[in-house]
Structure 1
């Protein structure tokens, strides 16, 4: 998924480069392309003394400020052993009841000492804690903030805590270690929580919302660190809390905090495969952004496109098209004609149109996007669009034009990226598929082998997702030329590449489902059932309720039938029926196939009345809505007649044995045999 606009901190997969975010001492730096105007951060006014402290009279001969601030020019502060000693004195002063003012003096001196040690010594101080003076400085800042809070000086507690958050971010950016950053962030979050609990009204002179916005920011950072560690489940609770902290009605700072929280939570849920919940978070974030900025702001357009891409991933193409059109209108109103933003929108619109089978419109969008990229001198992007144009030409069976587009892109990729780059391999795969479709199997296999040579020895910088995707496409070609064993090897390799990657569980489930189909065609029914079961488990965990899930349940049921696990098969067919009726409707071919399989299963289980009821429903649908020309109609009619005759002859129905119902000479199904009836029982794959 592309970079989300306007986030304070975004999801970071475990293998991604370190999160590079920084927070200046007084104001948080605004990230690029932020769709909102401000980020929730403290302002310099927070360091102003509160009215309560200003009203205090100074002690005779000594001002209050002089008593609170030690001599920071003291050369002894350069001693690396002084900081830990002063920090211990500060803690002891609090524990012994000596007084928070004395503890504050020690804590300020300790903090200054650690700051000097951090500036002077890049490597860790011998004998220091893991991370040297950096971790000690973070601890000192937390102690200092806690003492300020104990004195009721909450506004002065905020800057040290913000510095602690900055240390957490810098620890990730420098590669120092996310575990250390996690410790900083947890401590800062707890401190902000105490400040919020102790100071319900906003601090006078502070930014609108006081420490509330800083708590939200701290929760965002904490969640981002959990994501960088691959602990996405643990990132969800902080984000769920973060979206409840700000109140968008209190101004743009609160609106941005709420927007960022919803979008970051959506990203995290997406990495967990919970697409529906993820989209719901994006929708709420977009709603908040529109309320704050209006419907035509360019930053709203960026978020609309982001949400449209999420809809594409969820295969909700109508909603994706609606949002993409809105994005295109916004960018055309705010950008120059044929801008890069408009080109990106048109490429997304082409993907949506292609998925809906509207190839002519998809081609039109791609041509316009290509013209914009050519005008901007984006040679590599033009080549990528040429590949997409080739895909459309192939779908339209305009094979000569498709070959020309692919070859043009291939020439650019070889010259600009090198002959072993994965983009070159991806074009080889497209050419292999094209030549397979035109019956030139020798050329097709040659291009497959060329692509495999690149994927087997990837150049540095190649992502595992690129390799896995390429191997999966090649496996489909091998499967179609009746080389299932080779196709299985490629799928297994692809799955192994993805198994440790966060956010890839749904993709792995899809691979396992394909492997299950191939195992089934080879007659390896136990392996097929295991593959389907693993896929179903992953899809259930992700909350999947799509038509694809229903199809996988149906396929697993067929494998169970072959293993004579008829009760399990019946449960799977029933669940598949419920999902497909909801997602596709009763007239869809996949739904009708499940009806037929369920009727055959009920027949085998002795539930003849249930089988008759389902077959009557299927025949009624065909006669009234689908027509009777389908060859399955006559078969189903004969099966129903036999069942009715048998039911009328004897109510003491004896269950048939699966051994007799399933044709022992039935040949394994091939991929293109989908929808054909099993002899003797009527099961459909």
Structure 2
């Protein structure tokens, strides 16, 4: 049986930011509230790193790009099986009037008696695939696939059946193609339960394919934690079947590492990506395109974690591997990442050189109005903004917007939305908040609640909440944070540091609206999450301690004890840090 692969949609990660301290009031109550300040003392750098992740993770990390349809189980017919069934299929066509394989009875029902014929399942599955390939009638294809599954299940008689599993994978893929992701999950779970890896390598690899497809389906629903868990389990199954140093295991490691990057789980991503690099070293092969892709991903991870020197080393090696394999056209995107590393190291001249080199290559290979060109304009705008050359920065922002607002045909909408978000961040840093919010609003309309983009949409809404807060529009800020947090809860990101920071920011909005009890609940939840994810000494955690103490103080005498406890804890942490 062929090993099935399903492309994982590249999801953009959400952005992050901080808010300013709320304005003071003359009243006694608001005077106490003035003690509450934002916890996001490092949000500027965190926001910058998240936007690099957005840009890099949405680009093609592997030089060997594949069309998603090539990996879909729908388009992978089992020729060996179909050849054996040709004679039976011709006979069935003569015997049956319905394409579903049953003769219509006078009362309009279908005769299910023929489902115990294995040739029927193969025939129905082929018909379903043909319909999906033509794109004519996905609902009809789903009916055929479901009947094929039933036929295979009857014929299997309770025994593990690769044909049944393959059919279930196809059925789940059809459900996903028409947006029925929730219906696909139990089907894939059933396909995983059927197989026993001890039956042989084919069974193990089919089980691996099921886990990966299930992970992709969870990803489309925005359930990041469930998605990465499925990928991790699939990787373990594949290791047992193929061995830990098989090159195919390395490819899965990169796939899982990319998923961890999307989920902002950079420590896990680095560990898995290092496993992929170790496999390349164990196999002793010369620098390949696969290794270049792994090194590029590792460079992105190191850059996001603040290890800029290590990032630069990996990126330069990736660039050399690309050139050695005759992939000069792909080097431009790596040059952009090299420029990012130089920018982080404040080596501005070298960053400009890397960006200009990439810009020239993109204009030559993709045209002057391609979003890749706009992405370099955004990087140059960011560089000149950081070096105080605001006029040059705005000029590059305008050049980028001209491309994003009139994109060339065939460009994924998500790429345009990501670019608009990046430009918005630059305008925000220039304190042009109206323009920044306007651009984020356009990005939000492009995403339009698309499946698999819930975390990204939540990040944009949280960013808008921050800017509304800075403008003093606390009601809009509260509503934006409320929408963002509800999406993050639904997508299973209730344990991330970003979720904790978003809770803290929403708490600040509640304070400004005098919803003190709700603010205290949000700060408490943020405290628990940030203590676990960042530790008690992290500036974000310390900020939440301060906000929580100020909130309890504002609530009056009933919360005096809680205020004292929080203040003592904050004092202990500060003393230990000194």
TM class by shorter chain equals 0.7 to 0.9
Consecutive unaligned residues in structure 1, runs of 5 or more: 28-41, 49-64, 97-138, 202-208, 628-685
Contact kept in structure 2, 1:25 and 1:163, CA below 8 Å = no
Q: Structure 2 vs 1, CA of residues 518 and 282 (structure 1 numbering), >3 Å: closer, same or farther?
A: same
Question: Aligned pair 1:453/2:416, yes or no?
Answer: no
TM-score when normalising by structure 2: 0.84
The residue number in structure 2 matching 1:213 is 162
Q: Give yes or no for the alignment of 1:622 onto 2:574.
A: yes
- In the other structure, the counterpart of 2:286 is 337
Q: Does structure 1 residue 610 correspond to structure 2 residue 562?
A: yes
How far apart are residue 23 of structure 1 and its match?
5.0
1:200 equivalent in structure 2: 158
Instruction: Measure the CA separation in 1 of the matches of 2:241 and 2:399.
Output: 53
Residues 85-114 of structure 1: per-residue CA shift (max 9 Å, x gap) = 899994449x99xxxxxxxxxxxxxxxxxx
Q: Do residues 568 (structure 1) and 518 (structure 2) align?
A: yes
Residue 519 of structure 1 is matched in structure 2 by 468
Contact kept, 8 Å, 2:74 with 2:173, in 1: the verdict is: no
Partner of 1:226: 175
Closer, same or farther in 2 for the Cα pair 1:601/1:353, shift >3 Å? same
Following superposition, the deviation at residue 423 of structure 1 comes to 0.3
CA contact (8 A) 1:6 1:260 kept: yes
Residues 366-375 or 503-512, more deviating: 366-375
Aligned equivalent of 1:505: 454
Contact 1:26 1:159 in 2 (8 A): no
Indicate the larger mover: 163-172 or 454-463.
163-172
RMSD (Å), alpha carbons: 2.9
Alignment correspondent of 1:495: 444
1:241 aligns with 2:201: no
Residues 88 and 546 (structure 1 numbering): CA distance in 2 closer, same or farther, change over 3 Å?
A: closer
* 1:412 positional shift: 0.8
Contact 2:100–2:147 (8 Å) recurs in 1: no
Relative to 1, partners in 2 of residues 1:263 and 1:309: Cα closer, same or farther, differing over 3 Å? same
Name the structure 1 match of 2:216.
Answer: 267
Partner of 2:125: 165
For the 8 Å contact 2:9–2:220, the answer to whether it is kept is: no
Aligned 8 A contact 2:302 2:310 in 1: yes
1:215-614 alignment, distance < 5 Å: 215-334=164-283, 336-544=285-493, 545-606=495-556, 607-614=559-566
Between the aligned partners of 1:614 and 1:10, the Cα distance in structure 2 is 48
CA distance in 2, matches of 1:87, 1:322: 49
The alpha-carbon deviation at position 302 of structure 1 amounts to: 0.8
The 1:182–1:346 alpha-carbon spacing in structure 2 relative to 1, beyond 3 Å, is same
- Distance 1:443-1:47 versus aligned 2 partners, 3 A rule: closer
Which whole-Å deviations, capped at 9, do the CAs of 1:485-529 have from their partners, x for residues lacking one? 000000010011112421000000000000000000111000000
> Are 2:113 and 1:147 equivalent residues in the alignment?
yes
User: Measured at CA, do residues 47 and 611 of structure 1 come closer, stay the same or move farther in structure 2, by a change above 3 Å?
Assistant: same
Report SS of the residue matched to 1:243: helix
Q: Name the structure 1 match of 2:146.
A: 186
1:297-328 per-position Cα deviation (integer Å, ceiling 9, x unaligned): 11111111111111222222222222222212
| Closer, same or farther: CA 394–70 of 1 in aligned 2, 3 Å | closer
Report if the CA contact (8 A) 1:12-1:227 is conserved.
Answer: no
Alpha carbons of structure 1 residues 498 and 297: separation in structure 2 relative to 1, 3 Å = same
Report deviation, 1:190.
2.5
Q: Distance in 2 between matches of 1:290 and 1:456?
A: 46
**Conserved? CA contact 1:282–1:307, under 8 Å:** yes
User: After superposition, where does 1:4-153 map in structure 2 within 5 Å?
Assistant: 6-7=3-4, 21-24=74-77, 26-27=79-80, 42=81, 84=97, 90-92=103-105, 146-149=112-115
Q: Is the 8 A contact 1:23 1:162 kept in 2?
A: no
Q: Is the 8 A contact 2:298 2:311 kept in 1?
A: yes
Cross-structure match for 2:16? none
User: Does the aligned pair in 2 maintain the 1:304–1:326 contact within 8 Å?
Assistant: yes
- Structure 1 residues 494 and 6 mapped into 2: Cα distance closer, same or farther (>3 Å)? farther
Per-residue deviation, residues 219-271 of structure 1 (Å, max 9, x unmatched): 11111111111222222111111111111111112112211111111111112
**Is the partner of 1:244 in helix, strand or coil?**
helix
Gaps of 5+ in 2: 11-66
- Cα 1:12/1:378, change in 2 over 3 Å: closer
* Structure 2: distance between partners of 1:493 and 1:343: 35
SS in 1 for 2:193: coil
Offset, 1:193: 2.9
Q: Which has the higher contact order (CA 8 A, sep 6+)?
A: 2
TM normalised by structure 1 equals: 0.71
Contact 1:331/1:342 (8 A) holds in 2: yes
What are the Cα deviations for residues 263-310 of structure 1, in whole angstroms up to 9, with x where unaligned? Answer: 111111112121111111111111111111111111111111111111
Q: In terms of Rg, which structure is larger?
A: 1
**Partner Cα distance (2:225, 2:370) in 1:** 35
Report the 3-state secondary structure (helix = DSSP H, G, I; strand = E; otherwise coil) of the residue aligned with 2:194.
Answer: coil
| 1:305/1:9 CA distance change after superposition, 3 Å | closer
Deviation at 1:557, TM superposition (A): 0.8
Contact 1:20 1:169 in 2 (8 A): no
1:443, distance to aligned residue in structure 2 (A): 0.6
- Deviations along 1:40-86, one digit per CA (max 9) or x if unpaired, are xx5877899xxxxxxxxxxxxxxxx9xx99699xxxx7xxxx97489
The structure richer in helix per residue is 2
Check 1:241–1:396 CA distance in 2 against 1; reply closer, same or farther (3 A cut). same
